[in-house]
């Protein structure tokens, strides 16, 4: 059974082998090659994840690009120490400020290309519904109420024909043909509706095409910008550490090698700084450690501020999308639930019935024709059906925000790991940083000691018994 000590020894040997890459023996060379291959596989998996999050797609071309990229990293890492160092720093930077900016850019693209596109789509659906309702009303004008009036006129004519126009119906009959029809001049309205519909289709098609182009271009741009941000941040970190002023870089971290350096100075009876006093323990942190100082906590808060700000912006855009969906859906349901408006149509006509034989039986008669016209305020077939994109937006955004919050909490620890990694690859530069930090702590202590002695001297000089020792002594004797 493998013990924890054996696992620690194996990891330490693997770390030493990966950093140096110069160990002799075929076993060590094979193990080193496996470590380089593992680094290439990790970079390949990272790139596949980035392609998936940025919605660029994982097609055959992208898979080939990813595999070639991973193979190139593995081969270059086998020969160059700088490639191994930059690759590890790059992976660590994905969880720090550079990676945060890249993930925020990806989250913004998700919101823009889902919610904004859905808002424009729902507006088009609403416009199509209004045009459909107007078109239905135009067609209904040919049916009602004019057909009811035509029926009423025909009924009046039929009744008048039998009683008024042919008083001698018993003797002979009059044959005639009564035609009544309505002509509606809706050509201009039809042309206007068609033009409006065509304009809406044209604008919608243009916006849809533009959004599709922007979607593809934006996803590719967000991917390139995000990777570029991480690469630039990694390069700047490496440049600061390897530069001439690297001694002032990350001065608040105490590594294991710093402890060894201080112990070596102690053996030579040179000034030492360990152990730290209580005030120094709050400033300088021995790494790796989960302990964080006030400065690091402030950095964590600064790390999370852009995350919270962008989350609020994304929530506002999604809220507008939801409110438009809810407004269209609610208005549509309420309009469909309205009962048709019943408009009674009544036509009355009066006529005088004349009896040739008995004139005294002639009289005036009033007849009525009634019907009911039902008008629908909103056509059911024209009801808008809006779409909601919250699920497609907030499922990836929820994962993205959770990752950002987790990275914010461990950002201080990642900085420690990042410093330990680059110190392992470049020990000479790390020694310069340690010597400068050691000297800086000694100077701070000497200044603190001189300040303390001057304060003690000022306190003594401000006392009255320093200037008048005899008078103050007599006063004390008398009081006793």
pLDDT, tens digit (0-9, with 9 covering 90-100), for 299-328:
888 888 888 999 999 889 888 888 888 888
- Tokens 């889902």 -> residue: 114
Average pLDDT, the chain: 75
My answer on whether 52 and 193 are in the same domain is no
Structural domain includes residue 469:
no
Q: What are φ and ψ of residue 369, in 5° steps?
A: -125, 120
Confidence at residue 399, expressed as pLDDT on a 0 to 100 scale: 84
My answer on whether 304 and 378 are in the same domain is yes
pLDDT, tens digit (0-9, with 9 covering 90-100), for 14-34:
777 888 776 677 788 888 888
Structural domain includes residue 361:
yes
* The last residue of a domain, from among 387, 412, 427: 427
d(CA 351, CA 188): 41
Size of the chain, expressed as the number of residues it contains:
480
Q: E strands of 261-419, at which residues?
A: 285-286, 341-353, 363-375
d(CA 413, CA 96): 10
My answer on whether 175 and 51 are in the same domain is no
Average pLDDT over residues 384-407: 84
My answer on whether 56 and 115 are in the same domain is no
My answer on whether 106 and 232 are in the same domain is yes
* The last residue of a domain, from among 79, 106, 123: 79
My answer on whether 71 and 140 are in the same domain is no
My answer on whether 66 and 145 are in the same domain is no
- Of the two residues 179 and 319, the one the predictor is more confident about is 319
Structural domain includes residue 321:
yes
Contacts for 238-245 with beta carbons within 8 Å, 24 or more apart? 238/85, 238/86, 238/89, 238/422, 241/422, 241/426, 241/429, 242/426, 242/429
My answer on whether 107 and 72 are in the same domain is no
Confidence at residue 48, expressed as pLDDT on a 0 to 100 scale: 81
* The last residue of a domain, from among 44, 79, 114: 79
Split at pLDDT 50, 70, 90, the class of 428 is: confident
* Residue 162: pLDDT over 80: no
Structural domain includes residue 148:
yes
Confidence at residue 477, expressed as pLDDT on a 0 to 100 scale: 43
DSSP 8-state symbol, 243: S
Q: How many CB atoms lie within 10 A of CB 249?
A: 19
My answer on whether 64 and 117 are in the same domain is no
Split at pLDDT 50, 70, 90, the class of 358 is: low
My answer on whether 110 and 14 are in the same domain is no
Largest CA distance in the chain: 162
Structural domain includes residue 230:
yes
DSSP 8-state symbol, 254: E
- Tokens 């094979």 -> residue: 30
Structural domain includes residue 90:
no
- Of the two residues 355 and 40, the one the predictor is more confident about is 40
∠470-471-477 over CA atoms, to 5°?
A: 90
Q: Which range of residues forms the domain containing residue 104?
A: 97-427
My answer on whether 3 and 141 are in the same domain is no
∠125-335-386 over CA atoms, to 5°?
A: 25
Q: Which residues contact 444 (CB under 8 A, 6 or more apart)?
A: none
Structural domain includes residue 19:
yes
DSSP states along 71-140: HHHHHHHHH-HHHHHHHHHHHHHTTSHHHHHHHHHHHHHHHIIIIIHHHHHHHHHHHHHHHHHHHHHHHH
pLDDT, tens digit (0-9, with 9 covering 90-100), for 245-284:
655 565 678 888 888 888 888 888 888 888 888 777 777 8
SS3 label, residue 353: strand
d(CA 321, CA 131): 22
Structural domain includes residue 8:
yes
Q: Which residues contact 124 (CB under 8 A, 6 or more apart)?
A: 200, 204
Give the residues across from 254 on adjacent strands: 286
Domain count, the chain: 2
My answer on whether 124 and 62 are in the same domain is no
Give the residues across from 370 on adjacent strands: 346
SS3 label, residue 363: strand
């Amino acid at each position: 059974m493998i013990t924890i000590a054996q696992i620690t020894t194996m990891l330490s040997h693997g770390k030493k082998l990966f950093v140096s890459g110069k160990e002799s023996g075929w076993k060590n060379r094979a193990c080193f090659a496996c470590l380089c291959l593992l680094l290439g596989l990790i970079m390949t998996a990272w790139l596949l994840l980035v392609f998936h999050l940025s919605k660029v797609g994982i097609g055959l071309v992208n898979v080939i690009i990813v595999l070639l990229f991973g193979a190139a990293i593995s081969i270059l890492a086998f020969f160059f120490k700088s490639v191994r160092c930059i690759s590890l720093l790059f992976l660590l930077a994905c969880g720090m400020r550079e990676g945060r900016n890249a993930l925020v850019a990806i989250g913004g693209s998700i919101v823009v290309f889902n919610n904004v596109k859905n808002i424009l789509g729902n507006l088009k659906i609403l416009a199509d519904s209004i045009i459909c309702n107007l078109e239905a009303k135009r067609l209904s004008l040919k049916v009602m109420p004019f057909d009811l009036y035509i029926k009423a006129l025909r009924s009046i004519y039929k009744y008048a024909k039998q009683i008024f126009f042919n008083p001698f119906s018993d003797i002979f009959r009059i044959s005639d043909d009564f035609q009544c029809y309505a002509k509606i001049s809706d050509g201009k309205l039809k042309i206007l509706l068609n033009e409006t519909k065509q304009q809406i289709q044209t604008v919608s098609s243009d916006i849809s095409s533009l959004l599709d182009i922007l979607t593809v271009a934006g996803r590719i741009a967000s991917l390139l910008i995000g990777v570029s941000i991480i690469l630039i941040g990694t390069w700047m970190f490496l440049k600061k550490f390897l530069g001439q002023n690297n001694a002032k870089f990350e001065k608040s971290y105490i590594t294991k090698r710093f402890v060894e350096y201080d112990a070596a100075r102690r053996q030579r009876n040179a000034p030492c700084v360990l152990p730290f006093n209580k005030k120094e323990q709050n400033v300088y942190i021995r790494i790796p450690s989960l302990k964080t100082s006030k400065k690091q906590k402030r950095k964590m808060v600064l790390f999370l501020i852009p995350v919270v700000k962008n989350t609020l912006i994304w929530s506002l855009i999604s809220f507008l999308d939801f409110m438009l969906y809810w407004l269209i859906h609610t208005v549509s349901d309420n309009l469909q639930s309205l009962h048709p408006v019943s408009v009674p149509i009544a036509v009355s006509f009066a006529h005088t019935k004349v009896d040739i034989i008995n004139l005294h039986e002639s009289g005036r008669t009033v007849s009525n024709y009634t019907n009911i016209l039902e008008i629908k305020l909103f056509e059911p077939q024209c009801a808008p059906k809006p779409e909601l994109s919250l699920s497609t937006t907030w499922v990836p955004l929820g994962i993205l925000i959770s990752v950002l919050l987790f990275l914010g909490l461990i950002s201080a620890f990642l900085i420690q790991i990042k410093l330990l990694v680059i110190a392992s690859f470049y020990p000479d530069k790390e020694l310069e940083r340690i010597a400068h930090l050691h000297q800086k702590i000694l100077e701070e202590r000497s200044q603190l000691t001189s300040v303390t002695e001057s304060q003690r001297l000022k306190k003594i000089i401000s006392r009255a018994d320093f200037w008048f020792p005899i008078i103050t002594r007599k006063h004390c004797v008398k009081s006793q």
